[in-house]
Amino acid sequence: EKGTYPHFMLKEIDEQPFVMRKIIQEYQDENDDIKLEEDVRQAMAACDRVYIIAAGTSYHAGLIGKEFLEKIAQVPTEVHIASEFSYNMPLLSEKPLFVFISQSGETADLRSVLVETKQLGHPALTMTNVPGSTLSRESDYTLHLHAGPEIAVASTKAYTAQMAVLAILAVDTARAKGLTLEFDPLKELGIVGNAMEALCDQKEEFDQIARDYLSTTRNCFFIGRGLDYFVGLEGALKLKEISYIQAEGFAGGELKHGTIALIEDGTPVIALATQEHVDGSIRSNVQEVVARGANACVISPEHLTREGDAFSIPTVHPLLAPLVSVLPMQLISYYAALHRDCDVDKPRNLAKSVTVE
Ligand code: M6R
């Protein structure tokens, strides 16, 4: 089923523009408005706080989802790592809604939180790529990601699908609350799909970046601020899980509080700079690491690109920039793993779905 692709991961990266189109189609009604089940709408309207529960890449999508829900829909939102939540439950609000984000719908750490919160009588919504999965069956509501089967252990198209559906949910909730928005998510997701396609056509450039920055390195850092920080966390996870390069994502402003001590001559630092309001600050963080010898690779959208940046990505709505800026992360990780002769689709010590706690 890989067709002409050498790996599922590459195929799944390439499928992202189609997944965006599929999501638009599935979540659009005949008047071009958002189509969502009424009970999901009501659950969103009835809650006073959303608790997103997830693991790994899905947790990283949750971090972006919190920004969408708070900035677009003004719904207070917390994001929790599933395996931590069970043992360290925070003080809950009066009317919580639990949102479980899981590609597979089978992750045991999430299921144990679901069982626990159901016992407390709280409603649950699962966002999954597998509607018949355990989490979907045991939740009150399901939102389907429509990404198609994801085979590679490294999650790619499910992550962008999760963010797309979270954006749609946030906009729908905002509209139901009567908030006026300049933001048509379905139209914007169409633009995102085109941007993804343009990036998928530039694979040789990411291959080259992986050669230039990562072919011999032992470690690599990802920096960003705000949404870019969260995408950096995902970039680091992608890189470490398939290339075994030790990689970490950091908030640009935290560097000076300790992390900068790790920068040596030639240390690769991948910096994401897609958010205009923090552009000056992330640029000075880049200068700080370069001054200590880092090999900085800045990725910025066309309208913010400066001389010396390594790669320019198409400009999309700034809140949706993560859906586009993660593609370079995925492709650079893919080529880094390939250059190091790693088993891209089945990295060591990992399973596609983690069904034990
Ligand atoms: O199926 P899920 O989304 O619940 O899986 C959660 C994580 O195990 C998963 O995202 C994992 O981190 C991936 N291998 C990352 O690429």
Question: Which residue's CA is minimally distant from atom 9 of ligand 1?
Answer: 56
Decide: 353 in ligand 1 pocket, CB within 6 A: yes
* Ligand 1 nearest atom to the CA of residue 55, by list position: 6
For residue 243, the model assigns a pLDDT of 96
Question: Which residue's CA is minimally distant from atom 14 of ligand 1?
Answer: 154
This model's pTM is above 0.90: yes
Decide: 128 in ligand 1 pocket, CB within 6 A: no
Task: Give the helix ranges, DSSP H, for the chain.
Answer: 8-14, 16-26, 38-46, 56-73, 82-85, 108-119, 134-138, 157-176, 185-200, 203-214, 227-243, 279-291, 321-339
Nearest-CA neighbor of 231 among 324, 134, 102, 131? 324
* Ligand 1 nearest atom to the CA of residue 155, by list position: 16
Supply the ipTM of this predicted assembly.
0.98
Distance 155 CA to ligand 1 centre (A): 6
Average pLDDT per consecutive 10 residues, the chain (357 residues; last block may be shorter): 94 98 97 95 98 98 98 97 93 98 97 97 98 97 97 97 98 94 91 98 98 95 98 98 96 94 96 97 97 97 96 98 98 97 88 83
Nearby residues of 214 by Cβ (< 8 Å), 6 or more positions away: 220, 239, 243, 245, 268, 332, 336, 339
Task: Say how many C-beta atoms besides its own lie within 10 A of residue 203's C-beta.
Answer: 15
For residue 65, the model assigns a pLDDT of 98
For residue 347, the model assigns a pLDDT of 87
For residue 353, the model assigns a pLDDT of 80
- Quick check: is 352 catalytic? yes
For residue 110, the model assigns a pLDDT of 97
- Residue type (1 letter), 156: T
* Ligand 1 nearest atom to the CA of residue 128, by list position: 3
Q: Measured at the alpha carbon of residue 304, what is the angle toward residues 302 and 309, in degrees to the nearest 5?
A: 80
Measure the CA dihedral 231/236/238/244, to 10°: 180
Question: Which residue's CA is minimally distant from atom 8 of ligand 1?
Answer: 56
Decide: 83 in ligand 1 pocket, CB within 6 A: no
Of the listed 2, 71, 118, 352, which one is catalytic? Answer: 352
Decide: 56 in ligand 1 pocket, CB within 6 A: yes
- What does the DSSP assignment read for 320-343? GHHHHHHHHHHHHHHHHHHHTT--
For residue 197, the model assigns a pLDDT of 98
Q: Both tokens of residue 12? A: 């799944």
Distance 56 CA to ligand 1 centre (A): 5
Distance 33 CA to ligand 1 centre (A): 31
Q: SS3 for 281?
A: helix
For residue 12, the model assigns a pLDDT of 98
Decide: 145 in ligand 1 pocket, CB within 6 A: no
* Ligand 1 nearest atom to the CA of residue 104, by list position: 1
